[in-house]
């Protein structure tokens, strides 16, 4: 697919400096781009490549000062990184729109309701009473259990498993190997020391515009729903336990585990390898540093914690700075003790 500078500027809301009819057919990093490619410059560290790149079109910030002559056509925007991300997103949508039809072999129960413009890849399984919205793409080897609802323009990548009764919103992306709606970890201890399984009768609800990485597990609720709210972004290799709720536009990095019934607020940021205990409340705008262990609720919005157990980020940084100085403090303490002994003598 080819796009002109004028078309690209229209998509990203930018202005063209140079030839509006200049075309590109692929993307490249500004330091490596070749003829026929589009690049962008957002980081000042890469400014030198603005004058040497072979890219035909470059997206730059309005604030970027051009110091030398440039052969490429420029598209100026308020935020080059965001504009490039938008362009990649639109490009990906165009490619997916071309992916239409049902491959063989597949299993699709007779009760399945299918929207228009869908794609179902080979070896996919769609159970009873499944509803597939318009433009949904289900890649090969996906499993869609009974009574699952998938809304418009959602993409289910290869090997995804969505258990019965789960609800998936619009424009959701679920990457390969993720399991939605497996049983929550519920076992009741018995007098004899054994554990009896507690049936997990709820489901998982994923709202609109959520993206979920590869090999994520989101457990169904014991009763009610495990809920991922609109716009949340989940990295690879996460464990989201039963009855957890993750708020709108919250982001969680890889290898994080969230225990059962914890409620994560809106616009929360959680770093990689964090662990959050069960039945907690994490307030809106909270920031949890990577490898933190959160054992208590964070009730004040827009606060940051780090460490294990996690506590106030600023206080933790001061403590770490003091710990690094302990050898020096020990030396000074010994000197003070020796001085006191001399005075006593």
Question: Among all residues, which ones are annotated catalytic?
Answer: 242
- The one-character DSSP state at 309 is T
Task: State how far the alpha carbon of 22 is from the alpha carbons of 18, 57, 209, in Å.
Answer: 8, 7, 33
The DSSP H or E segment spanning 51 is none
Instruction: Report the C-alpha gap between 169 and 292 in whole angstroms.
Output: 31
Q: Provide long-range contacts, Cβ within 8 A and 24+ apart, for 293-298.
A: none
Task: State how far the alpha carbon of 272 is from the alpha carbons of 20, 251, 309, in Å.
Answer: 43, 10, 15
Burial class of residue 38 (count of CB atoms within 10 Å of its CB; 0-12, 13-18, 19+): buried
Q: Strand pairing of 187-189 and 195-197?
A: antiparallel
Instruction: Report the C-alpha gap between 314 and 286 in whole angstroms.
Output: 14
CA angle 318, 321, 324 (to 5 degrees): 150
Q: For residue 144, list its beta bridge partners.
A: 126, 162
From 238, 215, 214, select the one nearest 226 (Cα to Cα): 238
Residue for token digits 């997990």? 200
Which residues, other chains included, contact 250 with Cβ-Cβ below 8 Å and sequence gap of 6+?
229, 232, 233, 264, 265, 266, 267, 268, 269, 270
Residues in the chain: 345
Q: For residue 304, list its beta bridge partners.
A: 287
């Amino acid at each position: 697919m080819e796009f002109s500078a004028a078309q690209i500027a229209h998509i990203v809301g930018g202005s063209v400096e140079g030839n509006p009819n200049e075309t590109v057919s692929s993307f490249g990093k500004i330091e490596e781009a070749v003829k026929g490619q589009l690049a962008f410059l957002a980081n000042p560290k890469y400014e030198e490549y603005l004058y040497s790149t072979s890219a035909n079109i470059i997206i730059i910030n309005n604030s970027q000062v051009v110091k030398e002559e440039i052969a490429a056509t420029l598209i100026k925007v308020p935020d080059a990184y965001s504009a490039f991300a938008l362009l990649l997103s639109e490009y990906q949508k165009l490619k997916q729109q071309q992916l239409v039809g049902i491959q063989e072999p597949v299993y699709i129960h007779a009760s399945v309701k299918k929207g228009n413009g869908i794609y179902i890849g080979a070896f996919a399984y769609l159970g009873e009473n499944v509803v597939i919205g318009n433009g949904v793409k289900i890649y090969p080897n996906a499993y869609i259990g009974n009574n699952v609802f998938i809304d418009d323009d959602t993409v289910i990548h290869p090997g995804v498993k969505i258990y019965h009764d789960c609800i998936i919103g619009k424009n959701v992306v679920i990457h390969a190997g993720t399991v939605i709606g497996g049983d929550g970890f519920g076992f009741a201890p018995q007098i004899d020391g054994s554990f009896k399984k507690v049936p997990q009768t709820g489901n998982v609800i994923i709202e609109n515009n959520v993206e979920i990485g590869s090999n994520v597990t989101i457990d169904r609720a014991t009763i009610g729903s495990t809920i991922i709210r609109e716009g949340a972004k989940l990295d690879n290799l996460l464990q989201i336990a039963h009855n957890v709720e993750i708020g709108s536009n919250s982001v969680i990095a890889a290898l994080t585990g969230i225990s059962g019934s914890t409620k994560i607020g809106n616009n929360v940021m959680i770093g990689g390898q964090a662990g959050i205990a069960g039945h907690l409340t994490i307030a809106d705008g909270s920031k949890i540093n990577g490898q933190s262990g959160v054992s208590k609720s964070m009730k004040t919005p827009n606060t940051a914690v780090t460490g294990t157990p996690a506590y106030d980020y600023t206080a933790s940084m001061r403590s770490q700075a003091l710990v690094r100085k302990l050898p020096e403090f020990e030396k000074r303490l010994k000197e003070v003790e020796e001085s006191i002994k001399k005075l006593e003598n």
